[in-house]
Amino acid sequence: MIKRINLILLLVIALSPSFAQVKDKAMANLIDRQFKLAQQQYQLLGQNTPATRMPKTYYAAKNKWESSDTQWWCSGFYPGSLLYIYEYTKDTATLSEAKKRLAVLEKEKHYTGNHDLGFMMYCSFGNAYRITHNPLYRPTLDTAAASLVTRYRPDAKVIQSWNASKTWKGPVIIDNMMNLELLLWVSQNGGDKKLRQIALNHADATLKNHFRKDYSSYHVVDYDMSNGNVVKKATAQGAADESAWARGQAWGLYGYTMMYRFTKDKRYLEQAKHIADFILKNPALPADGIPYWDFNAPNIPNTYRDASAGAIIASALLELGQYSNKKEQAFYLANAKKMLVSLSGEEYTAKAGTNGGFLLKHSVGALPSKSEVDVPLTYADYYYLEALLRYKNWYL
């Protein structure tokens, strides 16, 4: 009888959540360590960023911080990262800093100068509303979504990324997939239903026109906005027009995984899986899982890594695993875990008090224009912290 009771107790323990956590105790400890470090680092980052601006990057060789105004496309990532840190640590000082920066950012809900309202407002106010449930944040999201769709071109059924110039007639970049989350969320949560259809139209046009047969993505597709015809396919940040710019592949993977979350349209899920295969089975992907800045970059392996691409990919893979069978999930989870372990090591994670207050090192903004090369970047930290939280919430 005693043996039987002991067996029952062991079974109960084995099936309990706490036992599941023990099975991956190393990751639980890693996540805890990294969030504590992030809290320290972001205190320093806040101290070195003017109150009316947002952190942009840091140049260690010059001990120089660079900040941006709130119209810079990355302006939402700093408050978004603060909110992720607060979500894990419950540190009230971190939340207070996030609220101060949100107040500075709020006016950009009216911005229509490019397509980046999703990055700017959903990564910040979307997380703020989700975490704090403050109803005052909701109208900001509604207004930002309305501002974003002023860039929708109905004849081409896409949201125009940048304004026309000598270089581009009607450019749409793969990054724009990320901004659809704002439209879908607002539409799903009581907002204008046309926002959903605009997001679907854009995702479908991108699926049709942005991807090659191997499921790699062009960076820029230039449209004739009067009829939707493709003028040219090119790059602004990749190694070449026909190359696979690493962060662009990450945006595509994340974007179509997110589209499936909202729509349950299997076309989007299959597209995400194909992109994942292109990335994870690519012979140019290094053993530690952190990609070079372009999968076709010259001088591989003697070129730059992009921690931001690695962080985005890891976060996307963790969500993609939620929609996959056991075998696929195991594959995505193993690769995401490898990337997070790599990013959490000394090669990519800054020591406390260094790196200007940023968490990750070795990201690449736009190498062809020699902008933000091998430096910390706000969106690298943001998607890294998101990935750590996703791992904790879904896989521990």
Q: What is the pLDDT of residues 83-102, one digit of tens each?
A: 999 999 999 999 999 999 99
Domain ranges in the chain are: 22-395
If you average pLDDT over residues 312-341, what whole number do you get?
Answer: 98
Task: Say which residue the tokens 């990564």 belong to.
Answer: 123
Among candidate residues 24, 116, 241, 277, the one labeled active-site is 116
Handedness of CA 13, 15, 16, 22 (dihedral sign): positive
Please report the pLDDT score of residue 20 as a whole number.
43
Reported as a single tens digit per residue, the pLDDT across 58-69 is 999 999 999 999
Active site residue 381: no
Reported as a single tens digit per residue, the pLDDT across 238-261 is 999 999 999 999 999 999 999 999
Confidence of residue 5 (pLDDT cuts 50, 70, 90): very low
Structure tokens at 283: 């012979």
pLDDT, greater one: 21 or 23: 23
CA distances (Å), 323 to each of 163, 281, 330, in order? Answer: 36, 20, 12
CB 278 within 8 A of CB 216: yes
Residue 278 has pLDDT above 90, yes or no: yes
Please report the pLDDT score of residue 52 as a whole number.
97
Among candidate residues 91, 142, 175, 192, the one labeled active-site is 175
CA distances (Å), 345 to each of 26, 30, 351, in order? Answer: 13, 10, 10
Please report the pLDDT score of residue 347 as a whole number.
98
Residue 16 has pLDDT above 60, yes or no: no
**CATH architecture designation of domain 22-395:** Alpha/alpha barrel (1.50)
Number of residues that make up the chain: 396
Please provide the average confidence, as pLDDT, over all residues in the chain.
95
Q: Alpha-carbon distance 14 to 340, whole Å?
A: 26
If you average pLDDT over residues 319-336, what whole number do you get?
Answer: 98
HSE, CB side, 13 Å, CA atoms: give it for residue 35: 24
Task: Say which residue the tokens 């290094």 belong to.
Answer: 286
Active site residue 116: yes
CB 95 within 8 A of CB 86: yes
Please report the pLDDT score of residue 13 as a whole number.
42
